Structure 1
């Protein structure tokens, strides 16, 4: 299902993979993954990659969605030698990629929190993942990626918020709802849930909770 907002069309391809298209036809992908792609559209102008987990950094999927002259912009901590020329995205900073203003910020699991493995290590350690604030056709889109809701996130506001809600490896739906209230977006589009048993959640309850606060949620 596609969701429209202020001239942008959003599609959740599955898991954490999303596609954004502007009225002028610019197409942006974030974290495409072969497992959830129905075909090889080859229409992407810009492909963003937030970290090197297999379900986020997938060179075959990047090739499948990217057009002939697509720009790939990936977190600089990823080994991208197999892709050729890539725009490096810093752990924290700002830059412009093909007319899209980009702010990057750290994303990770709190080592003292619940999202740690059997050895007590966070599934996503500090320095391994970035979140993205993209300004696409004058709309700010915040994709925090695989993370908990962290203190530095409280400085971020956006028109559209795309949080993970599945828990286990990332924030759960309750934490994501608190995060959404902080961001104060016009629209919330949740991702990263129900793909595996470990991240199954009640997305409808998440939507109901935020909509009771007057925040629009689309389970796209």
Structure 2
């Protein structure tokens, strides 16, 4: 599994069979990304929740690539109304076996809504995404506060790599994210959702330094390859 970080909360994943996954494609308005909407290739687009800095360019990317959007049911219904042909709606706690692997939506303590034409559209519950593919378990927390039930994920799943927000203000900050990391017991923890806006400015290096051997700082455009024994290259 090859994982690339693209700034804010954007991840792209290429699986061993060549399937291309894209998480939270906030691209065109993202000052930290290395991507352009026109160049992105994706087979599936996974959305944690319905805020504009996570939905981002979901619709044009899905249409251009004929990609399937996987998310909470309300986000998928919104995408379908915008002309996206392929969606797979889910709900919190549910899992599904796709051709590439299994996806489960987890709780996130946050909100979810999208403002359009002066109206706020309800986008369902926010979530995290647990991906199991290529013998790897990846957890993308989306936007969330720290909460005690994260320990249940740590007990139930052998998480190889977790992506946790550290920006504070809108999500948990570094101190809470460290507690969350301890609950999850992931082999590797990567900070996301920081420095995109003035309200979420953080020093991610200080965060990873507090988790020696576990914390990993990924720059925008950086790729790591995770093997099914947890090793990284």
Class of the TM-score when normalised by the shorter of the 2 chains: 0.7 to 0.9
Tell me the equivalent position of 1:22. Answer: 15
SS at 2:4 equivalent: strand
- CA RMSD in angstroms comes to 2.2
Kept in 2, the 8 Å contact 1:19–1:30? The answer is: yes
SS at 1:14 equivalent: coil
Residue in structure 2 matching 1:72, options 69, 72, 84: 69
- Change beyond 3 A, Cα 1:72–1:61: closer
Distance (whole Å) between structure 1 residues aligned to residue 64 and residue 20 of structure 2: 9
Kept in 2, the 8 Å contact 1:76–1:91? The answer is: no
Distance (whole Å) between structure 2 residues aligned to residue 39 and residue 31 of structure 1: 13
Equivalent residues in 2 for 1:98-137 (5 A)?
98-109=99-110, 128-137=125-134
TM-score normalised per structure 2: 0.76
Aligned residues: 195
Structure 2: 5+ residue stretches without partners: 112-123, 220-233
Residues 1:31 and 2:28 are matched in the alignment: no
Higher relative contact order at CA 8 Å, sep ≥6: structure 1 or structure 2?
2
Query: How big is each residue's C-alpha offset from its partner over 1:73-102, in whole Å with a ceiling of 9 and x where there is no partner?
Result: 121132322123310021221112333201
**Runs of 4+ residues deviating >6 angstroms:** none
Tell me the equivalent position of 1:91. Answer: 92
TM-score normalised per structure 1: 0.80
